[in-house]
Chains A and B, each alone.
Chain A
């Protein structure tokens, strides 16, 4: 399956064609578009805990997918790692279906003031 990649900008380095029933990346996309703020996380990861606390502290109610509690979580983890270009797989944040990135991107966008408008646009923040 070929993906319409417009809304994801240039984050997709490569589109993986898989014969599996559901491409993990496709699943990621589907899950990400399902809510205003989506976080892919691991229940044991403390950085994921930090990013969750960040959004909760801002008054945002994110949808969190704990990949270690998902039977096919490993696939998604691998897909996310490919998406981000190595490093750690989680946490990964999507806002309004668009990929924001890992923790450092989230932090940077918060500091430079682009996170809040993004949240407002996605309807996750009021006021």
Chain B
């Protein structure tokens, strides 16, 4: 096989065709017989390129690669290697070493690449010259010679590394190898740092999402402790979960925006825009919940869309608005008298409204119980139909509860100044963020097991 242009790269065609015989017959000891990629110059080439780009330092792959990469292509891509290839055969030819079989050539390459990490297949003194390595290899004339001859005969030094003395070339080779290793290491550490920073930034989001996924998995029938026994999640619920998780991502962004806005002391006008955006963001989830209530009210009212800790405090499919006010009172220390009166009456009306809705829901439950209990054999169908229609009343209560939540946020916005509102909404966002993180912590603490 000739090493023609590979994978779109322009290769110099440096020598007469006889030296383009790239020996792909490798000993079976090293390679599986059906290593298909060996015979695909393009794929081997691309892999190496990819490898360097993502900084993988996999000894074995390197080992394999270097053995099978088309020589010309390799030299183009890895100038640091060229002289090794270049060098080795010269040395070997000088020392009349004709026993460079693929195995030893491999060793040479691998060793050269990464002496520290590579497990040498043959021991040799540290200051080993390539020719010595080859000399110590077992003789395998047929394949080895051809390969050595190829390597030997490679005349064109890439990138102007012309004819030099042996020692210079050796130094260069080491330097080049070091440079290559440094490049790799630098690339790797850059990538690592980037990944770590990204991890830090998104760790909370991922925790929250993990919890969401767990819940989804649970509600899909892999349940602990009752609930949707063997049932699957409804499409409405699945859709809402998806939209809710996206809303959570948005929430993180809004909260960060609020936080940085508070810290950077924006003007009231700019702050107002951000605050109003946050309210619109909440309006969005209430809208989504309204749709979800129609398709799957149980999903909302049982809190399967939330984290366990949130579910603990669930009231009618969401947070209890009066609790929110209680939590916020601590944040509102600079209230005018009018504002204080407003907050107090808001809290009072909320408590009355919540009480009224709770009593209404209680009546629904009692009515449902009596309907189901009074299901007689001859009239069961009718009773079940009545029960079903009563069940549909649940949707109304969840909607009214969400309505209360929405009105609470809007009223807060009306009572407070822009700055106070910003502080409040930031507190709300951070509070629920922490509550969700608490759920995730609980999930992973004490080696809690979740059965699927």
Give chain A's interface residues, CB within 8 Å of chain B.
44-47, 49-51, 53-54, 57-58, 88, 103-104, 107-108, 110-113, 115-116
The CA of A44 and the CA of B359, in the complex, are separated in Å by 14
Cα distance A107–B400 in the bound complex, in angstroms: 8
Q: How far is the CB of B341 from chain A (nearest CB, A)?
A: 10
Bits for B329-368, please: 1 = Cβ < 8 Å to A, else 0: 0000000000000100110011011011101110110010
Let me know if B356 and A54 touch, CB within 8 A. Answer: yes
**Which B residues touch A104, using CB under 8 A?**
399-400, 403
Which listed residue, B342, B353, B363, B390, touches A110 by the CB 8 Å rule? B353
- Assess A44 versus B360: contact at CB under 8 Å? Given A111-B353, A111-B408: no
Q: Mark B379-421, 1 if CB is under 8 A from A, else 0.
A: 0000000000010010011011001100110110010000000
CB neighbours (8 Å) of B359 from chain A are 49-50, 53
How many CB-defined contacts (below 8 Å) exist between A and B?
76
> Are the CB atoms of B357 and A50 closer together than 8 Å?
yes
Say whether, besides A107-B404, A108-B403, A112-B414, A53 and B342 are in contact (CB < 8 Å): no
Q: Is the CB of B363 within 8 A of A49?
A: yes
19 contacts between A and B (CB under 8 A): A44-B367, A45-B393, A46-B397, A49-B363, A50-B357, A50-B360, A50-B361, A53-B356, A58-B352, A103-B396, A103-B400, A107-B400, A108-B407, A110-B349, A111-B349, A111-B407, A112-B407, A112-B410, A115-B349
Chain A residue contacts of B408, Cβ below 8 A: 111
Tell me whether A57 and B355 are in contact (CB under 8 A).
yes
| CA of A104 to CA of B414, assembled, Å | 19
- Assess whether A49 is in contact with B360, with CB atoms less than 8 Å apart: yes
With A and B bound together, what is the CA distance between A53 and B353 in angstroms?
9
Please give me the residue from chain A that is nearest to B341 by CB atom: A113
B residues near A (Cβ < 8 Å) are: 342, 345-346, 349-350, 352-353, 355-357, 359-361, 363-364, 367, 390, 393, 396-397, 399-400, 403-404, 407-408, 410-411, 414
A112-B403 contact given A57-B352, A57-B356, CB 8 Å threshold: no
What is the CA–CA distance of A112 and B361 in the complex, to the nearest angstrom? 23
**Which residues of the partner chain B approach A108 to less than 8 Å between Cβ atoms?**
403, 407
Nearest B residue to A88 via CB reads B396
Nearest A residue to B360 via CB reads A50
- Report whether A46 and B345 are in contact in the complex, using a CB–CB cutoff of 8 Å: no
Give the residues in chain B near A54, CB-CB below 8 Å.
352-353, 355-356
Find the A residue at minimum CB distance from B361: A46
Task: Give A7 Cβ to nearest chain B Cβ, in Å.
Answer: 26
Contact A46 B363 (CB under 8 A): yes
Question: Quick check: A46 and B360 within 8 Å, CB to CB?
Answer: yes
Query: In the assembly, what is the distance between CA of A46 and CA of B357, in Å?
Result: 9
- Nearest A residue to B342 via CB reads A113
Set of chain A residues within 8 Å of B361, measured between Cβ atoms: 46, 50
B355→A53 contact, CB < 8 A: yes
Residue of B nearest to A106 (CB): B353
Minimal beta-carbon separation of B227 from chain A (angstroms) = 24
4 residue pairs, one from A and one from B, having the closest CB atoms: A50-B360, A54-B356, A111-B407, A46-B364
Residue contact A46 to B367, C-beta cutoff 8 Å: yes
User: Shortest distance in angstroms between B345's beta carbon and chain A's nearest beta carbon?
Assistant: 6
Cα distance A44–B407 in the bound complex, in angstroms: 28
